[in-house]
Chain A
Amino acid sequence: MAHTRKQVAGWTAATIAVLVFALFPVFWLLMLSLKKPSTLNDGRLIPSSWSFENYKSIFQQDVFNRALVNSIGIALISTVIAVVLASMAAYAIARLEFPGKVLILTAALAIAMFPPVSIVGPLYNLWRNLGLFDTWPGLIIPYMTFTLPLAIYTLSAFFREIPWDLEQAAQVDGATPGQAFRKVIAPLAAPGMFTTAILVFIFAWNDFVFAFALTSTKNAQTVPAAIALFPGASQFTQPTGSIAAAAMVVTVPIIVMVLLFQRRIVAGLTAGAVKG
């Protein structure tokens, strides 16, 4: 379908408009992060003088470094647990017929869709009583509520793509069901597991509500929560520059990862939608 010049121009204009709308805040943040702290409120978008002072200062603070460590650790552990558990569940769901299968799936989906904001209150109390407040497990466990359903759904779509004949051939060849899974199915599902891991990691990394409500100190505070509580230079100044710099540090890796693996991510989300 050939596009006329006018059409191409029109589409380009529209695309630019959307891009600007979506990326402007990010661009603004980037500019803010590169400004000298003293020029933060001078009303200019592009800094008059560039400086990495904001970046230096956040890394000097223990708060941010610990928050980074917490974020990476908690997100990674959540991802690993979610993918391992979900692959077992997804395998069962894709292969077997058992009573309550639909119920389990529906329940998982319902739990994932439940607004986190409404459960943080009770969860806060519960965690304080159990001593899980401000700990890594204290965040990893609630993260399971949305990472597991997401992982199960994505992975079962991948598993369904793998023909059952292969496991049967493996069994006839002398494999136990466990060996059949490890040697035949898992290698074939590896791309699916990888994609699921990426998706889950992004969700866990970006979470704010749980992190903010269930942590208080550098023991377990993740970056989104930490940024919100950045101390300023004095009681009256906003730590805008530090926030901007921290936000950049936290967002850029994710953007890079998404750009690198975007094809896989789309494949993961649409797997099983169309046969073949």
Chain B
Amino acid sequence: MAEIEFVDVVKRYPDGFEAVKHMNLEIRDGEFVILVGPSGCGKSTALRMIAGLEDITEGDLKIGGEVVNDLAPKDRDIAMVFQNYALYPHMSVRDNMGFALKLRKEKPEEINRRVTDAAKVLDLEQHLDRKPANLSGGQRQRVAMGRAIVREPKAFLMDEPLSNLDAKLRVEMRAAVSRLQQRLGTTTVYVTHDQTEAMTLGERVAVMRAGILQQVASPRELYENPKNLFVAGFIGSPAMNFFAGSIEADGIRTPMGTIPFADELRRRLEQHGSGSRQAIVGIRPEDFEDARFAPEGHRGWTFDAHIELTESMGSEIYAHFDFEETEQLEAEELRELQEDAGTADVPQSGTSGHAVARVDAASEVRPGATARLWLDTNKLHLFDPSDGSSMTRPKEAEPAVA
């Protein structure tokens, strides 16, 4: 068990490309931290630096208080679960799991005991003498985890271990991973590109983009108080809706009308500056509702929306509506976010956009008709168009980077 600390770590390749830029992160002993971000953001590189499979160009990596930059992987006492499991094909499950212990020259009885214990926990007992080629994906994944558990290392490193499993199995294994980590209490660093996994598994989640840590906080904090446009748009599914707007004296001008300030919002906004200015307005689909089902006593804003399309999930309905942009906003951040999400190529006609609202399953919204929608004014997020930073994040919240 040990803490892992990145101190101003940089990973630069010979051609100058920086995969990780000045990363500072403290992972406490026994914590389950998730590194999440789009492809190419540097999360796998960061993980492999902890393992020792990638060299560190600048900065220090500490495990258990010691600087380990130059320590070979075999001396770091950490176990890794690879994305495609990397099981030794010529060895049985039992030998796969016992390989590390055999290298350490542990006594055969001890090896046997640990392997059998791990097999029991992972429900692999009847597969111990089979070869990996004869196992299913889920079983192989469990063998990979077993190989890590048996070593009782200082930390577990997991590189997208569930991404090769089918959807249903993934949900089951997610719970299994979580239970396992709680039971063993070992420091775990888990890399994924799936924000659902990040939200459900992590005690703390570190969102990365293009080699830079955007925000490190609990899943709830990331959801409620995203530090910038990227985090806001990345966390939460379906993604947050963004509109071009501006802050005026009488309220926030949006395509849905000029929304008067809620007190809480006004207070937080004042912490970030004053005066009329342009802003990117963010509202999560969950913070909309059909006006007929709007919660009582909640400050809100009702408006008419032309429903383009509805998706009925059974438990709720996602209503897609379009709107005319009232502000023309040159937002570099918004464009980059769209590129990251892959929606940049989706044609948007002229100055209109479209958004998604989540409404009650009993709602009667229909495509092609106009519906009266309500939004929660307490849940408006405002972002500075120049750098995407949040203008509504309460300053007394958890620090953005631990």
Contacts and interface: CB of A to CB of B under 8 A. Distances in A.
Interface of A: 163, 165-166, 168-176, 179, 183-184, 187-188
B99 interface: yes
Interface of B: 51-53, 72-74, 78-80, 82, 84, 86-90, 99-100, 103-104, 147, 151
Contact of A174 (B51, B82, B103): B103
Contact of B80 (A166, A172, A188): A172
Contacts of B52: 171-172
Nearest to A169: B86
A173 B84 contact: no
24 contacts: A163-B84, A165-B84, A166-B86, A168-B73, A168-B80, A168-B86, A169-B80, A169-B86, A169-B87, A171-B52, A171-B72, A171-B73, A172-B52, A172-B53, A172-B78, A172-B80, A173-B79, A173-B103, A173-B151, A174-B100, A174-B104, A176-B72, A179-B103, A188-B89
Contacts of A179: 103
Contacts of B147: 169, 173
Contacts of A175: 74, 103
Contact of B53 (A171, A173, A183): A171
Nearest to B14: A97
B99 A170 contact: yes
- Best-surrounded residue of B78, B99, B147 (most CB of chain A within 10 A): B99
Nearest to B53: A168
Contacts of A166: 86, 88
Given A174-B74, A174-B104, A169 B82 contact: yes
A140 B88 CA distance: 37
Contacts of A163: 84, 86
A174 B151 CA distance: 10
Nearest to B99: A173
Contacts of B74: 171-176
A173 B104 CA distance: 9
A173 B100 contact: yes
A168 B80 CA distance: 9
Contacts, number: 54
A163 B83 CA distance: 13
Contact residues of A: prevailing secondary structure = helix
Contacts of A176: 72, 74
Nearest to B76: A172
A176 B104 CA distance: 11
A173 B78 CA distance: 8
B104 A187 contact: no
A173 to B, nearest CB: 4
A175 B104 CA distance: 9
A267 B89 CA distance: 19
A172 B103 contact: no
A17 to B, nearest CB: 44
Contacts of A173: 74, 79, 99-100, 103, 147, 151
A169 B158 CA distance: 12
Nearest to B89: A188
B70 to A, nearest CB: 15
Given A165-B82, A169-B80, A172-B78, A187 B90 contact: yes
Contact of A172 (B51, B87, B89, B104): B51
Nearest to B88: A184
Most chain A beta carbons < 10 A, residue from B51, B80, B104: B80
Contacts of B80: 168-169, 172
Nearest to B150: A173
A165 to B, nearest CB: 4
B357 to A, nearest CB: 44
B90 A188 contact: yes
Contacts of B100: 173-174
A125 to B, nearest CB: 47
A184 B78 CA distance: 19
Contacts of B82: 165, 168-169
Nearest to A176: B74
A274 B103 CA distance: 35
A176 B74 CA distance: 7
A29 to B, nearest CB: 44
Contacts of A174: 74, 100, 103-104
Contacts of B86: 163, 165-166, 168-169
A166 B53 CA distance: 12
Nearest to A179: B103
Specify which of B78, B82, B87, B104 lies most central, judged by the most chain A CB atoms within 10 Å of its CB: B82
Most buried by B among A173, A174, A175: A173
B191 to A, nearest CB: 15
B118 to A, nearest CB: 14
A169 B159 CA distance: 12
A166 B96 CA distance: 11
Nearest to A188: B90
Given A163-B84, A173-B99, 18 more contacts: A163-B86, A165-B82, A168-B73, A169-B82, A169-B87, A171-B52, A171-B72, A171-B74, A172-B51, A172-B52, A172-B73, A173-B100, A174-B74, A174-B103, A174-B104, A176-B74, A183-B99, A187-B90
Nearest to A162: B89
A106 to B, nearest CB: 23
B47 to A, nearest CB: 11
